[in-house]
Structure 1
Amino acid sequence: MTSDPQRRLIDPSRVDAAVRGLGDRETVVQWADRFSVIADPTRLTLLVCIHYAREICVSDLAAAAGMTDTAVSQALRLLRAHGLVTAHRSGRVVYYRLADATMHELIHHVRPHPDGG
Structure 2
Amino acid sequence: MHLTEPPDGTPDDAARLEQRHRALDEDHRVCDAIAALPDGAVMHAWVTRFALLADPTRLTLLLCIHAAGEICVSDLAVAAGLKDTTTSQALRLLRAQGLVATRRAGRVVRYRLADETVHALLHEVVAEPARL
- State the TM-score bracket (shorter-chain normalisation): 0.7 to 0.9
Aligned match of 1:70: 85
Aligned match of 2:105: 90
The answer on 1:46 being equivalent to 2:78 is no
Aligned match of 1:100: 115
Residue 28 (structure 1) shift: 1.3
Aligned match of 2:15: none
List gaps (5 residues or longer) in structure 2.
Answer: 1-22
Higher RCO, 1 vs 2 (CA within 8 Å, ≥6 residues apart): 1
Could you tell me which of 25, 28, 31 is aligned with 2:40? 25
Please tell me the residue identity of whatever aligns with 1:97: R
In structure 2, what is the Cα distance between the partners aligned to 1:61 and 1:50?
Answer: 8
Please tell me the residue identity of whatever aligns with 2:111: Y
Query: Normalising by structure 2, what TM-score?
Result: 0.74
Secondary structure of 2:127's partner?
A: coil
List gaps (5 residues or longer) in structure 1.
Answer: 1-7
Aligned match of 2:12: none
Residue 38 (structure 1) shift: 1.6
In structure 2, what is the Cα distance between the partners aligned to 1:77 and 1:50?
Answer: 14
- Count of residue pairs brought into register by the alignment: 107
CA RMSD in angstroms, aligned pairs only: 1.9
Residue 9 (structure 1) shift: 5.9
In structure 1, what is the Cα distance between the partners aligned to 2:24 and 2:64?
Answer: 47
Residue 13 (structure 1) shift: 2.1
In structure 2, what is the Cα distance between the partners aligned to 1:46 and 1:11?
Answer: 43
Larger Rg: 2
Residue 10 (structure 1) shift: 4.8
